[in-house]
Amino acid sequence: MATNRVSPFLAAALESLADQTHPRVEVIVVDDGSPDPEAIEATVMAATPSARILRRSPAGVSAARNAGASAATGELLVFFDDDDLSAPERLSRQATRLSSTPAAVACYCGMRTIDAEGRVLVEADQTAVRDRLDVARRRTGILLGNLMVRRTEFEAVGGFDTSLTLAEDLDLVLNLSERGDFVFEPEALFDYRLHGGNNTSRHRELTASIDRIVRTHRSRAQLVGDSALADAHSESLRANARFAWWGAMRHARGEVRAKRWGPALSDAFWAARIAPSAPFDAVGRRLRRR
């Protein structure tokens, strides 16, 4: 777990790790230059007394996660944010899936979205991917929080790209998908907490980062003549454009409720400028599904 603050959800996140049924869980908390390390230590020790704390000068979340992975001794890695929750049997279930599928590089599980109070906003809707092309298309929700990775594979792809501050998990997932299969544990074992302080609220920056990452991977596929993979990345880019509209409209509705008309219009104009065809694409997809 990488953090640089005492989040209001930190204790609950740590307690959900302390409650894991898997017999061997190593918890490492990387303090990435927090202004109050004593407060982090007190919270961590109260929730998970066996946890190790690594203090570092602030270097960003990717570097902090890489440091945590380097310090870990286990064969399987899970990266956990300071505001999320895991069901008690989560790690055991995913480890079992990986042990029964030796060729798989990673396992992802069902994931719900909850609000700041823990109420379920979106039930788990993840599905099994067929191959690397489904991963590249982003056909289902494979995020860092619901992922378990073999340590050898994490090291083989070089870990997280430290130049990335947003969507670094997408870059990791795409790199891993080129090395082997992903297995799916369908049980909803992970809760992603959606609130005003997390990165999903930074929709403009997140959209731009996803766009850069996917275009980079598409260029690599084109360079080696892998047209199927390049087409899959193009589909992912269209999905990102639809996400841009979703994020902009979601934020704009909040601005309208607060009667901040200027920011609401700014979001609408931004979405229309960077993804003008996304609404038509979304309507077409719905019609095709029907």
Please indicate, yes or no, whether residues 180 and 270 belong to a single structural domain of this protein.
no
Quickly state the pLDDT bin for 197 (edges 50, 70, 90): low
Model confidence pLDDT, tens digit, residues 98-133: 999 999 999 999 999 999 999 999 999 999 999 999
Q: Are residues 14 and 126 in the same domain?
A: yes
**pLDDT 10s digits, 6-60:** 989 999 999 999 999 999 999 999 999 999 999 999 999 999 999 999 999 999 9
- Co-location of 176 and 263 in the same domain: no
Based on the domain organization, do 234 and 100 belong to the same domain?
no
pLDDT one-digit tens code per residue, 198-225: 555 578 899 999 999 999 999 999 999 9
Domain that holds residue 113: 2-199
Residue 285 lies in a domain: no
**Domain boundary, last residue among 174, 199, 224:** 199
How much is the mean pLDDT over the chain?
92
Q: Are residues 166 and 77 in the same domain?
A: yes
38 and 130 co-located in one domain: yes
Do 124 and 243 belong to one domain? no
The total of structural domains in the chain comes to 2
Regarding whether 99 and 190 lie in a shared domain, the answer is: yes
Are 120 and 54 within one domain? yes
- Residues 233-248 have a mean pLDDT of 89
Answer yes or no: is 286 within a domain: no
Question: 208 in a domain, yes or no?
Answer: yes
What local confidence, expressed as pLDDT, does residue 59 receive? 94
End-of-domain residue from the set 160, 182, 199: 199
DSSP the chain: -EESS--TTHHHHHHHHHT--SS----EEEEES-S-HHHHHHHHHHH-TT-EEEEE----HHHHHHHHHHH--SSEE----TT-EE-TTHHHHHHHHHHT-TTEEEEEEEEEEE-TTS-EEE--------SHHHHHHT-S---STTEEEEHHHHHHTTSS-TT-SSSHHHHHHHHHHTTSEEEEEEEEEEEEEP-TTSGGG-HHHHHHHHHHHHHHHHHHHHHTT-HHHHHHHHHHHHHHHHHHHHHHHHHHHHHHHTT-HHHHHHHHHHHHHH-TTHHHHHHHHHHHH-
User: Is residue 289 in a domain?
Assistant: no
| 187 in any annotated domain | yes
6 inside domain? yes
Asked if residue 211 and residue 190 are part of one domain, the reply reads: no
Quick check: is 102 in a domain?
A: yes
Same domain membership, residue 210 and residue 186: no
Given phi > 0 = left and psi -120 to 50 = alpha, else beta, which region is 75? Answer: alpha
- Please tell me the pTM assigned to this model: 0.90
> Of the candidates 199, 215, 231, which is a domain's last residue?
199
Is 287 domain-assigned? Answer: no
pLDDT more than 70, % of the chain? 94
Domain of residue 157, CATH code: 3.90.550.10
74 and 16 in one domain? yes
